[in-house]
Structure 1
Amino acid sequence: MNYLITPPNTHYDGGLGVTACNFSQAADTLRRAGNAMDGVLPLCYLQRHAVELFLKSLIVILHKKYEIAYGEGFSAQKPAAKVGEKWIALSSTHNLSDLFSYFRSVLAATISQLPSKADWTIAPDVERKIQLVSGSDPKSTYFRYPESATSAHDARKSSIQPERLNSIFEKMADSKVPVKCTLMLDENDEIVEAYNFNSSPIPKVLESLEYLSGYFYNLHAAFRYEITNGL
């Protein structure tokens, strides 16, 4: 797999795939570290960006390998994706649903020409997970900034969430595991707010991103081995 040991600018896809691998591996490192203070936003961003770059790499590989023309004004040096009836430069396209939809259309158009050693069928749950993530972060901003959507939507990002103290005690009793929380007191030392440090923010999005990052990591590796001869 030459693309792992050569400069990105020499790669078949211009370095998109290996950069995606780097983001995916960085996410794995962050997840293994298990530092609660890191929050979920850096992890989600790394995985989401990896998926975006993997999709762009797969699109470029199929266009180049099977000599598929881009729309007017675009070329191998300036690749694009067709979104609806409009061609948009890959560098300006960040919506995962749009990228996945275009990748699927190019894959369908070339699947009869792909090497037969691998099964190129896309797993049925991939599209649903793509839609879920894209719905939360259509412009690649949701995981990068504390404020990017509605206040209610943004509030779900944090692992520190408001919770009734009774509920926190009940969870601690049920799990037999200490709970880390913050208690806010008034001038009479009465508890007015409680925050659970161990809440699970956006759990479905987290699960989907982890799955998609691993799925496209493997699919991209198959593309590089079977289609680009490791270049």
Structure 2
Amino acid sequence: MNYLFTAIEMHPDKGFGITAESYFRSAEHLRENKFEHYEITQQAEMPQNFLYRHSIELYLKSLIIIFHKELQINYPNESFESDTPEILIDGKLKKLYTIHYIDKLYEYWLNFLLLPNIEILNEIASKGDWREVEEISILFPVISKYDQDSSYFRYPITKNSPLDNEKYTMQKFKSSSIDDFVKEVQEQKTINNKPTFTLLIVDGNNNITDGYKHIRNTLVEVRDALQKVAHYFYCIHTMTRITLCKGF
């Protein structure tokens, strides 16, 4: 585990892995330690989701660099020792450091570096578990549908505007009558199975003109996928540093 205590300029992956670990651990801290009034704070889960997602991106870049170097696989137009590597994404050369599409990074690492070299990896780093984990491959589309380029959990509005509303924890009621409002409130309480709150706006005649409901858990499937995938790459990265990089 020498990489935990050596300067980044000594790291074979330019520090991507150790930085990813900081983002991952920060996300874990936020998840396990809720701040005051967390339950009623809008968008409270967005920071931890962003941190998990960014850790995945950094771990993938770390692994791509390490695999090229340790297996001595040249980049398309450069040596495996290049400080400014470019990789093929959808048939086009892209600078590795500027790629933010985690599904594309994962496909490259999996299909170009891991799977074709499993026999070599088992030979030179036999203590590692070098195989594809199908569940992780299945979860990438779940994440990328919402946040392919690292903007969805950073900003309130994105170019993926049709999906932005799904992450908002205060959402407008669709009802137009008091009976429908009551029904929606009751349904919301049943879904959450925990206390929630509602804001109703009335006019001068005490007629309800608008209503907003607090959604306790939004995008649960995406949140859980981010946590699982980030933890997987935390483990794979650690394994790679110990077995393939001899602790560095």
| TM-score, length of structure 1 as denominator length | 0.90
- Of residues 208-217 and 107-116 in structure 1, the stretch that sits farther from structure 2 once superposed is 107-116
1:158 correspondence with 2:168: yes
The offset of 1:32, in angstroms, is 1.8
- 8 Å contact kept, 2:20–2:59: yes
Structure 1 residues 116 and 80 mapped into 2: Cα distance closer, same or farther (>3 Å)? same
- 1:39 is aligned, of 40, 44, 47, to 44
* Structure 1: gaps (5+ residues): none
* Structure 2: gaps (5+ residues): 174-180
Structure 2: distance between partners of 1:113 and 1:180: 57
- 8 Å contact kept, 1:81–1:90: yes
The offset of 1:73, in angstroms, is 5.2
- 8 Å contact kept, 1:40–1:159: no
Matches within 5 A, 1:133-212: 133-163=143-173, 164-172=181-189, 177-212=194-229
Rg (Cα) greater in structure? 2
- 2:55 is aligned, of 46, 50, 58, to 50
Q: Percent of aligned positions with the same letter in both sequences?
A: 30
- Which residue is equivalent to 1:130? 140
Structure 2: distance between partners of 1:176 and 1:150: 30
- 8 Å contact kept, 1:161–1:199: no
- 8 Å contact kept, 2:57–2:100: yes
Measured against aligned partners, the alpha-carbon deviations of 1:169-207 in whole angstroms (never above 9, x if no partner) come to 345468774322322222223333332223322222111
Consecutive aligned runs of 4 or more in structure 1 exceeding 6 Å deviation: 173-176
| TM-score, length of structure 2 as denominator length | 0.85
Aligned length: 231
- Which residue is equivalent to 1:92? 98
- 8 Å contact kept, 1:20–1:53: yes
Q: Secondary structure at the match of 1:222?
A: helix
Taking only aligned residues, the RMSD between alpha carbons, in angstroms, comes to 2.1
- 8 Å contact kept, 2:192–2:216: no
Structure 1 residues 88 and 196 mapped into 2: Cα distance closer, same or farther (>3 Å)? same
